[in-house]
Structure 1
Amino acid sequence: MPYSTRTIGYHCELLHPPGPVDPNLVQRVHNGLFASPDPLYKSFAVNHDGCALSNIAVRPGAVSQAAFLVDRYRFNEEGTGLTPDEFADRVTTLASQISEAKGLSIFTGQVVTLRTLVNPRAYPTALELLGEGVLRWNAEENSLGRPVGGLGLRLVLPATPEYPNTFNVRIETIANDRRSLFLENQGTFPPQPVREGLASVRAHIDATYRFLTGPVLDLLAQRDRSDGTDADADARDSGGEGH
């Protein structure tokens, strides 16, 4: 991995056919979690659109929650320090128990969103890396009449015969943190039968994380160079890639 990442957010939605939410069913599963010395979620609540399990915030702004709504399960971890594997464990363990209890047969879709921060290696600020290194933005030729204080790049990768999912990637500067670049990858995956187990749910979380920390970081690293050149262009010019 070309950068040291600081993953700040994990989100997963498992969509299913609409149906009423049974608070008693969710509470029974929640009570069963306390058989473990360290239960996944410690609080249970019923709200206007379903049920939610949560943990007390360990730091300001942190969120740890699993919500069970009319048409989806929603897992949200912000700033809690989980690893990708720990998040996947949390999703698959609880989704499996809830699905079995309610007799759910299919997830109609899965959406995984992962967010992380990285620091430039060769450029002094994230704005210069994204502007000069990635987008080849020339501030001296700016025709907008005002300085640019932030930049962003969005990449949409549609489904293919080989990869049936889509990825939507965001790369953005952060207004109050000149040294950090914000990266997000959102993967959208097709329906999957629940009776086959939740191995595919875990695999989709892993695939979304690996694409963000693999090809996306490689794209940045190719252009995050002190000489301002593109590593791929250098390889072509030196005969590293033929035609």
Structure 2
Amino acid sequence: MTLVEFFGCTFLAFGPPFAMFLFTIAHDPVRIIILIAAAFFWLVSLLLSSLWWYTVIPLRKDLAFGVVFSVLFQEIFRYIIYKIIRKAESGLKKITDDSTQLIENKHILAYVSGLGFGIISGAFSLVNVLADSIGPGTMGLKSGNEMFFMTSSATALCFILLHTFWGVIFFNALDNNNKLHVGIVVASHLLTSSITLFNHFQVASATLIPLYFIVVLTAVFAFKIAGGSYASCKSCISFK
């Protein structure tokens, strides 16, 4: 039973991101490099936020303190990877056969970078939980919530998708000097991270419902920014 739960939670959290990677990134080595680079920068942001948490001794026990500064460090490094990618665009033209689409459509680079942030974020938030789900027992037999593993996996998937959408919105906002959209990304990141604090009360609906509502809104926003429209969706469906 524990092994089934492990694979179920793993596929719930990482199945959609793996499909996104397989169909949109795996065929292009440059996109893979950008994905890995973005994941590395997220790791650096995690390191710095951990050092900051360790340094400020009086607030170590306050989880909200760590959440706020973790979000701020992540957004700072999202900005840094944006600047690096934009400066490297001329070099990318020389090393990729897909240079026209990759460089002219700037949303592709933003999407790849956001997915890199999301995948590594989901992996670090869930890897220890998945390791515990293998056994020797499972949650809910004598204490704890039996939905813990599923809730954790659904939350990890939520943030993987959010980071992908935030990447598209954030990069476009910086390209167009739109401070409002940058603020929306940072504010929504702070909001969604703060919502996860309700997990302390072990009420899954109080966390997942608002989180996935924000995911849908952010997805629609990123879709419109990337040039999508109702007409394009309708034509795509009719084509299929």
Bigger strand fraction:
1
User: TM-score if structure 1 supplies the norm length?
Assistant: 0.28
Which protein is bigger by CA-based radius of gyration? 1
Higher relative contact order (CA 8 A, sep 6+): 2
TM-score if structure 2 supplies the norm length?
0.29
Compare the two structures and name the one with the higher helix fraction. 2
